[in-house]
Structure 1
Amino acid sequence: MAQTEHNIRLTSAEMANLWTSYISDSSFNCVFKHFLTKVEDKEIRPILEYGLKLTEKHLSTLKQILHHEDFPIPHGFTEEDVTPDAPRLFSDSFFLHYLSSMGRSGLLFNAVAISTAARSDVFDFYNECLASSAEVLKKSREVLLSKGLFIRPPYIPIPKEVEFIQSSDKFFGGFFIDKRPLTAMEISHLNINIQTNSIGKALIMGYSQVAKTDEIRKYFLRGKEISKKHIEIFSSILTKEDLPAPMTWDGDVMESKVAPFSEKLMMYQVVALCAAGLGNYGSAIASSPRHDLATNYGRLSAEIGKYGEEGARIIISNNWMEQPPIAIDRKALTT
């Protein structure tokens, strides 16, 4: 990794990404450690081991960069947030889908981080993270395919010729006129948002079984219902056009009532899923010209945003949320 002179300060974007990466990687480190105590499948175990080694490598590099800047190392998540002897809560196939989902999310986050990095050491770090996220996605995809668990997006015909849109009303319409068929981009986003909601629903379902605090259990149960509703809405759009909707993974949640993780870690994961969901829906809006789709995404984004804020309030009320780097309060300095 390239050496950086002291006079090259971290930008606010670099601080934000490095701080977020430390919190995130420390959480994945805990999750992968627990999953490795339960996994039985010989094809899935190596991917979990690879993911764990990545988090350890990332945390080590992040500490070096932050120490170099006298930046306080975030507390993040530690072994205190894991219960090693807790019974299995999720199946091996869920571990595989979780890895695939985390690889996909990592690609999106690291692509943004590398695009805003000015310092060479930060750029190099996120360049490595981008490659490793792609590798996690590749490894998990290969095993999903070999086991017949990979959910392929729907197939549609290849266009016979180049065509130009003749009517903007018909292309953008979706309320008071006949809806045009879905575009390939719209189908892709519906498919991926069903899959991510399915992962979230299974995760929250499991966490609702093991939560000790009544407030947090009710929060998880509400999240499960929100995910269920979003899956049904997106699936109905596909099925109305005679396109298949992806399956869900509710059956991958076991009967355990013992928490494998602290409520702090479980709450962080759920709120992080909300943030990722908002990003996915934002991308879907930009790629879905049909008015009814954009309206659905906008309405459902508001619901996710409100749910995520409620979760953040619970985290703050329990003194679990670390404050991210913030700008100087210039007004306070002049009073």
Structure 2
Amino acid sequence: MRPLAVSLLLLLSPMPMQAAEPNTAAAEAWLAKTSIAPPLQVPASLDAWQQKRTEIRAKLNELLGDLPPRPPVSAIQITSREDKGAYTLETLQFDNGAGEIVKGYVFLPKNATAQNKAPAILYCHWHGGQYDIGRQELLQTNATPVAAGPALAAAGYIVLGIDAPCFGERNGQGPDGPQQKGGNGEMTAAKFHLWAGRTLWGMMLRDDLTALDYLCSRPEVDAQRIGVTGISMGSTRSWWLMALDDRPRAAVCVGCMTRYEELIRSGMLKAHGIYYFVPGMLKHFDTEAVIALSAPRPILFMTGDQDTGSPTSGVRHIGEIVAKIYALHGSDTASHFENQIYPNVGHVYLPEMWEHTLKWLDRWVKN
């Protein structure tokens, strides 16, 4: 039997177990009066794609808003260390320069040293309406079949994960302070950032990129062998980070391979929290354009066909387009993009998915 916390169909915010029949007439009426971008057109050549790729990345950064500069690596401090036998568990923190203190965990295998550099994983936790957990997910099985931090450390990886905005020790640390926690705190943070000319999603990714800066700076880390992974919100963070930054070598994304037009048509906009929406995005492109920026680096997607936040039609649509982008890089990159759809599976992280995650990371990050 699967652990209860893993088998629940939690998406990016609490929602019913079964989605109601979509009101397609309403969706079609709204879409008919709105100009949205067509599916990404695959360029005829790799050179043409490289130019298009540069344009898409620039537009994404523009749409995320006027983000303040990331704090320097020197601002990140280790505040505690605990000997856990096979690894050392460190707690780090940094002032993100935007009003918050961010805390995270580093899992450091004992055999990782400046002379014996190790591969590393930036782990992105999920949402699931579990605002109190955040980085603690690395030590729990609320979202994954095993505690990901110790498991990845045992596999030889240095692991870093931070509290995303509104989660963990940042729950109740938004602009309204402790009086607004959980979903209310998330809403106040999103509103504040919109007024400031930026997005909550952009700020979330900015903090993740700060964590990546730090991971690359660690003397024990081989900066050429860094992967990124997560489920749900953590999955979306992972493929956006691959899109915005070339430093991650590979990624594994469980759930949330969501094409937005199909999400609208299925009547499931409610499946994703407010933090996730980027104003103006559909005027320019849908999510296949973001995911395609990972090419030719290896990226694995695993999605259940009963995951109502990621309509299967959209998962397949993204996969068809992105596979063609990978093909532009040559036949040897065909194995770099894998899009697995699991039948009769919802928004969960199955044990077999975890096994596939480890094999993917070992193949494309470690070796």
Select the structure that is richer in helix. Answer: 1
TM-score (norm 2): 0.27
Give the strand-richer structure, 1 or 2.
2
Q: Which has the larger radius of gyration?
A: 1
**With structure 1 as the length reference, what TM-score do the two structures score?**
0.29
